[in-house]
Structure formats: C-alpha cells, structure tokens
Amino acid sequence: MSLRHALLALLEARPMTGYELAKQFDVSAAYVWHAHHPQIYTELRRLESAGMVEAEEAPRGIAATKRRYFLTDPGCAELLRWLAEVSEPGRERDAAYLKATYFEFGSFDLAREHFRGHLEHYRRVEAHWSAHADQLERRDTALLRRRLAHAPQHAHDAIVAYKVHVYRGLTERARTEVRWAEQGLELVDRLERDAGIPGDTSVYRPTPPRDQPSAS
C-alpha cells in the first residue's frame, strides 16, 4: 500500500494532474519506491473512489480538459494513520544476491560480468542519491520549496532533515553495494588463480542428483 501513501504525501505539497504527479513521483518518491506510470494512474483512481483525493476539471488547450487532483481531509487522515504504523523491515528479495549464491554454475568470466555490472550500476546510483541529498539540503527542489511555502516555520528543519537523512542513508547503502562488487571481483580473481582453469570455462555444471527417487 505504500504507493498510495507516497501519492497522498506528494499531493500534500500541491494539487497536481495525473501527468504532473507521475513526473513528480519519478524525481522524488521513485528513489525509494519504484512504480510504473500505469500503476500510479490506477492508484490515483482508487484514491478518488475512496474519497482521499478529489479532482476538478481544468482546461487543456482550446477544447480539451485535464483533471487536477487535491488531497482531502480523509486523505490526510489516511496519511497520518499509515505513518503511525510501525512496520517491520521487509524480508530480503534480491535477485543479484540470489544469483551470486550460485555463480559456481557459470564461468569466472561470467561472474566478473555480473559483478562489474553491479559495480557500475551502484556507482551511478551513489552519485545520483548523493547529489539529490545535497539538493535537498540546499532546499533546492521545486516540490520541497512548495511544501515549505505552506508549512509552519517551526516544521521546516524537520521537513528537510528527514528527507536528507533518507538519501544520505541510500547513498551509504549504494557505497556498500559498490564495496561488495569490488570484493566480488577480487574473489573471482583469487578463485580463478586457485582453480587453474580458463576463465571462460564453467566451474561446475549442474547435474541431477544420482539418488533419483525410484518410479512408483
């Protein structure tokens, strides 16, 4: 249900059309909760049906119209209810780590390819999250400025600091992934030296166990 709460929080900053909301999601909430645009539009319709947002028609061009969404009192109440829930961290589901558990079924070269891809991805992510945290710290995003404009002065530091804390944490998480990939590349080099086989040769091909169950 976190997608709906992210959308409610974004609409608290200002009313938006579905298109504007999806674009804003891409440059803010999507860093911590990925969602495709069709999912966002579907959830927006559900929020409207539940009375948590309302929409008004606004002109678009000469003959067309667009729907602009507003947060309602029930939407604010739902946002507060969700925030009050203390949730346990989610169970791990990481495709890259799961695959790495069984790299012995491939070659050392293949393992290197995976680790290098992981390394390059998280170097980009680290730079991106670090830059976003810096931007938030400077209070230099359009949405943050809009939120601060209508929030009470005593809340400004908290509004900024919590967001900066999140993206600094994500930056540190990315750095950990970079280190893990670097250590993985070092591990592959050592294993290849010790094994004494070509890098493009499978280390161990999976085979059915010998004690297959007998047919009934």
- For residue 132, give Cα distances in angstroms to 3, 15, 163, 164: 21, 23, 10, 8
Q: What is the pLDDT of residue 27?
A: 82
51: left (phi over 0), alpha (psi -120 to 50) or beta: left
Say whether pLDDT at 202 is over 70.
yes
**Within a 10 A sphere around the Cβ of 8, how many other Cβ atoms?**
23
- What pLDDT shows up at residue 35? 81
pLDDT tens for each residue of 171-198: 999 999 999 999 999 999 999 999 999 9
Mean pLDDT of 8-30: 88
- The torsion angles phi and psi of 68, rounded to 5 degrees, stand at -110, 130
The whole-number pLDDT of residue 214 equals: 62
Between 6 and 214, name the one with better pLDDT. Answer: 6
Both tokens of 189, joined, read 């080099």
* DSSP one-letter code for 135: H
What pLDDT does 45 receive?
Answer: 93
pLDDT value of position 86: 84
Rounded CA gap, 77 and 72, in Å? 9
**Minimum mean pLDDT among 24-28, 42-46, 53-57, 167-171: which range?**
24-28
Tell me the per-residue pLDDT of 131-147, one tens digit each, with 9 for 90 and over.
Answer: 999 999 999 999 999 99
